[in-house]
Amino acid sequence: MEKSEAKRRIEQLRAELQEHSRRYYVDNNPVIPDFAYDALMRELEDLEAAFPEFQSPDSPTRRVGSDLDAPMGENAEGQVREGFIKRKHRYPMLSLGNTYNIGEIEEFAARAEKQLEGQPFSYCCELKFDGTAISLIYRNGKLLHALTRGDGIQGDDVTANVLEIANIPTRLHGDFPESFEIRGEILMPYRAFDALNALREDNEEPPFANPRNAASGSLKLSDPKEVAKRGLEATLYHIPAQSIPFATHDEALTKAASWGLPVSGERRLCRNIGEIKAFIDHWDTERRTLPFATDGIVIKINELAAQTALGYTAKSPRWAVAYKFQAERACTEVLGIDYQVGRTGAVTPVANLSPVQLSGTVVKRATLNNADQMALLDIRIGDHVYVEKGGEIIPKITSVELGRRPADAQPPLFPSRCPDCGTPLVRQDAKWFCPNQDGCPMQIKGRLIHFMSRKAMNILAGEATANQFYDSGLARCPADLYDIRKYQLLALEGWQEKSAQRFLDSLKASLKVPFERVLFAIGIRGIGEATARTLARRFGDIDALAAARKEQLAEVEDIGAILAGNIHDYLHDERHRQEIWRLRTHGLQFSMAEDAPGPLSAALQGQTVVVSGNFSVSRDAVKELIAAHGGKCASSVSGKTSFLLAGEKPGPEKLRKCEELGIPVLSEEAFRALLPDDSDAPEKTEAAEETQGTLF
């Protein structure tokens, strides 16, 4: 593959994966199964390995986890809480590599055997639970903190809610350590999931798509008493090796169970790949009898000394891997096809199905992704199709049973106009889009939802509220939100005094949201959090940003010609200028605060630094530090580069270019020596010193 083609495909894959992550974690409405998502991720990993010059710290391959896992739109009796305290994990919660191929499990075992050079070891095989990750910290036998995964470095403190989960002990018994941490999963059993969705449907609220999202949403409720009603359970499966004096993983879990902790008993010690296969085969069938969702088997090296010897990659442990079950499938009839318009204008076909039981839930709808997928399947209304649930989550049609096709079945026609506003569609890559960005109701609702989201303006409202505001005429653009009065809210169905006041209070609080987040919130296409932060600090206010020429914008780090065009066109559209004027009139922050932190020093003033490799802190933190000392980060090596800051495993192409141009290459230690002694330089964390990260 040529470099230019690889770059285009990498950018496309990143955009697709980020969109699917948003749909999965934020919208609670994923459109592809785990298998398809994992295949896209694997393709991106392979391309980034083959073309390291295109690696980026913002790539989905570099992200360990996300706290964007609480579905929004809970009603007043189940309001999702936003203001959890953040706490740093003592040991980073990394993610697992996964595969659907038993051959890759054999390769995993062969690599471990080769690296351990004759050192004896065994495997501990466990169920892979489909819930939301949790870390419990006990001190003197008492539960001190419970943290979500967050971004892998820090998570939300949800201790008050976890105390309401019946099988998590607040006090331990036996010979427990003075202080230790144990990690696992918060689950919602099928019976609790069905009861919760039945209640939501009775209240005319949208049901949760699956037990995993129901569990993660319940864990973020504002009222712990409400959490107690959700029927959550915990299963624990990992104690970071640094905090316990045991020789093996299995021994640690056995001792944890003796202290009263809910450790999974469905695990087996295996000596070879044959025993691992037997365990996988057993649970591939028996998982259907379990009262909760599972989507695979985790295989871990049992001996803790061997785990330490094998170590970690930047994202995952080398001593563990997950085997994910192939999706269960069922055959059912296609009753019709709807066409949904997303926030970006993408039109997605969704098949309405005759209800069928699949992996513990009733399936009524399945995505068809795009027009090309429909044509590839040759699907028709009235067909009988095979439906799978990749990872036991999202239904997907995989094939048509042609032998049962009705004689008069006709291929469906993909719409040529937007099904929501009637605008002629335009094609970009494999998707059809509605270009009526400012007039299409679904796109407008999507932008309202984005504007009010936690990482943007953090206004207490979700998708249901945005739809209600739009349908009632209260809000057709973000500025309209600030014109809403309490009496208007109380006139809407479902609103009461308390919920109305909470919403208005959150509107008032949003006036203090800093400029960089406001810039992210207004929704310029392609501008994420990091880019908005860079632009805010570079230009200082919205007027300077709007006055910048496209060429000036393109010179900003990580912008380029396409994003520069998006920014320029957005800020020169009269409708958007009026919108920004109204938001400014309401008091939103469109300039950097005068008391915003200034530079720590001028040690790197005028220097352009290229960052490559892995460091003791995140690369984002390293870039923040460079900027704080007056430096500028660039993504590629050129004659303007002052030096390359090289961590562990820097890109070979960048090293070659530095050698060719005579540009210095500095280690992290040498870089830190350039900074003042009292600067906030990256310090090696305790976890990094001991292990460079631990599982979960």
Angle 549-550-553 from CA coordinates, rounded to 5°: 90
Handedness of CA 599, 603, 608, 614 (dihedral sign): negative
CA-CA distances (angstroms) from residue 470 to 439, 478, 479? Answer: 12, 11, 13
Taking the C-alpha atoms of residue 121 and residue 119, their distance in angstroms, rounded to an integer, is 6
Q: How far is CA 441 from CA 420, 444, 451, 467, 579, in A?
A: 7, 5, 15, 9, 17
Burial of 277 (0-12, 13-18, 19+ CB in 10 A): middle
Report the alpha-carbon distance of residue 191 to residue 328 in Å, rounded: 20
Q: Tokens representing 34?
A: 């785990």
Return the structure tokens found at 279: 């365990």
Could you write out the DSSP letters of every residue in 481-544? HTT--HHHHHTSTT--HHHHHHHHHHHHHHTTS-HHHHHHHTT-TT--HHHHHHHHHHH-BHHH
Can you state the percent helix, strand and coil of the chain, rounding each to 5?
A: 40, 20, 40
Tokens describing residue 220:
């973020």
The secondary structure element, H or E, covering residue 125 is: strand 123-129
Q: How far is it, in rounded angstroms, from Cα 146 to Cα 89?
A: 10
Torsion of CA 368, 369, 371, 374, to 10 degrees: -30
Neighbours of 152 (CB within 10 A): 21
The DSSP bridge partners found for residue 353 are 334
Residue pair 609/534 in contact by the 8 Å Cβ criterion: no
Token pair belonging to 95: 């993610």
CA–CA distances in Å: residue 585 to residues 156, 269, 483, 580, 588: 34, 66, 11, 9, 7
Q: Which residues 6+ apart lie within 8 Å of 233 measured at CB? A: 165, 166, 167, 186, 187, 188, 189, 262, 292
In whole angstroms, what separates CA 690 from the centre of its chain? 27
Beta sheet of 132-139, edge-to-edge order: 142-148, 132-139, 179-187, 233-238
DSSP 26: I
- What SS3 class is residue 693? coil
If phi over 0 gives left and psi between -120 and 50 gives alpha, with beta otherwise, what is residue 353?
A: beta
Closest CA to 653 of 10, 8, 48: 48
What CA–CA distance (Å, rounded) separates 96 from 613? 20
| H/E element, 330 | strand 329-341
Backbone angles phi, psi at 273, to 5 degrees: -65, -30
Residues catalogued as catalytic: 128
508 within 8 A of 535, measured Cβ to Cβ: no
